[in-house]
Amino acid sequence: MVQMVASIVSLFFMSVITAIFVFVAAKSQERREYKPIKKKWYKARTFYGVTLVIAMLVVTIYTLRELPYDQPVYGAETEPTIVDVEAVQFGWIMSETEFSVGEPIEFHVTSSDVTHGFGIYDKDKNLLAQTQAMPEYTNEVYITFDKPGTYEILCLEYCGLAHHAMIGKIEVK
């Protein structure tokens, strides 16, 4: 669904840019007085610049309010299950792959070769949590599954020829 929307939106803007390009190319032979055009578009540039800065500021402040995302919210005296994850070309070595609904889990993610991306997806291919798997670093990612089912670990960083085949499975009961 999201991919569908993204591809339609991309196609739309690609067509808009193509149309602008064709328009400009078609008009490029015409002779026009340069001064008023320059004045007009300098004004427009200032307007767009200021609008863009304001819009970006609003979006930035709005989206950063909840940082840091995904803080672990374990109940009192709840010890999370620690799972060691090692990424290798091309697979995931995990100390545990079966969990229960409501169990707080802390993944400790590293890599033994190149940088990979550790992404946890539900059955509808929604990304639930992710972190980088980097050699010589251990990154932590927290999750508490609220629905039973099979979840997939997909690699989010192009890491070689079989990057696409780097799929792990998690069972939640």
Interaction site with ligand CUA (CB under 6 A):
87, 116, 155, 157-159, 163, 166
Q: Measured from the CB of residue 138, what is the shortest distance to ligand CUA in angstroms?
A: 17
Q: Which is nearer to ligand CUA, 94 or 166 (CB)?
A: 166
Q: Which is nearer to ligand CUA, 109 or 144 (CB)?
A: 109
Q: Which is nearer to ligand CUA, 108 or 163 (CB)?
A: 163
Q: Which is nearer to ligand CUA, 154 or 172 (CB)?
A: 154
Give the DSSP H or E segment for 11. helix 2-27
Nearest CA-CA partner of 104 in 80, 140, 122: 80
What is d(CA 23, CA 28) in angstroms, rounded to the nearest whole number? 9
Give the DSSP H or E segment for 92. strand 91-94
Handedness of CA 48, 50, 54, 56 (dihedral sign): positive
Give the DSSP H or E segment for 18. helix 2-27
Q: Measured from the CB of residue 92, what is the shortest distance to ligand CUA in angstroms?
A: 9
Q: Measured from the CB of residue 115, what is the shortest distance to ligand CUA in angstroms?
A: 8
Q: Measured from the CB of residue 146, what is the shortest distance to ligand CUA in angstroms?
A: 27
